[in-house]
Amino acid sequence: MNLLLFVSEITIPLLVFGVVAYGITNRQPVYEDFITGAKDGMKTVFGIMPTLIGLMIAVGILRASGFLGYLTNLLSCLIPDVVFPSELLPLSIVKLFSSSASTGLLLDIYKEYGADSVLGKMASIMMSSTETVFYTMSVYFMSVSIKKSRYTLAGAMVATIAGLIASIYFTKFI
């Protein structure tokens, strides 16, 4: 166990040292390249900032307006609890837009049902096996100026549904 702890603590510093050493041995201006990369990163951050702010505001409005509760009630009428627990519907909807907001919902599930409960385990697996589809698409497509997403949304939604099904299956049957 101590060896594993030591390896986990030293991995990142060794990786940074290895990259710097590789650059120096190849006679590259390591510091200047780092500064150039940081400048490019800041340009990207400023380019996607409006999209990020818009998504955060939209998620806040969804939660504060009560629309999320209304949508959850509507979907819980259509989807029986045996198929998909209605307590996890808000989490699965919000996860499509924001990981931090869905983490808040996850903590609410932990407080109400417990982290070791069936719903807690299901929510944990759900969080790790699904993606923030709309956030990821908007941020990455905006940063490289892609206008047509083609099949990205359909593929991402299929993968998200597969993650939701897997979270239920692995919690109930394995």
- Residue-wise pLDDT for 93-110, tens only, equals 999 988 888 988 899 999
**Is the CB of residue 156 less than 8 Å from the CB of residue 119?**
no
> If you write DSSP's letter for every residue of 91-115 in order, what string do you get?
HHHHTTT-HHHHHHHHHHHHHHH-T
Could you tell me the two tokens for 80? 């029986």
Q: Tens digit of pLDDT for each residue in 33-89?
A: 999 999 999 998 888 888 778 877 887 888 789 898 898 889 888 888 888 999 999
**Token digits for 117?**
């409960």
Question: What count of other Cβ atoms lies within 10 Å of the Cβ of residue 105?
Answer: 22
Count Cβ atoms below 10 Å from residue 35 Cβ, excluding itself. 11
Domain boundaries, the chain: 44-173
pTM of whole model > 0.75?
Answer: no
For the chain, give percent helix, strand, coil, nearest 5. Answer: 80, 0, 20
Q: Are 170 and 162 in contact (CB under 8 A)?
A: no
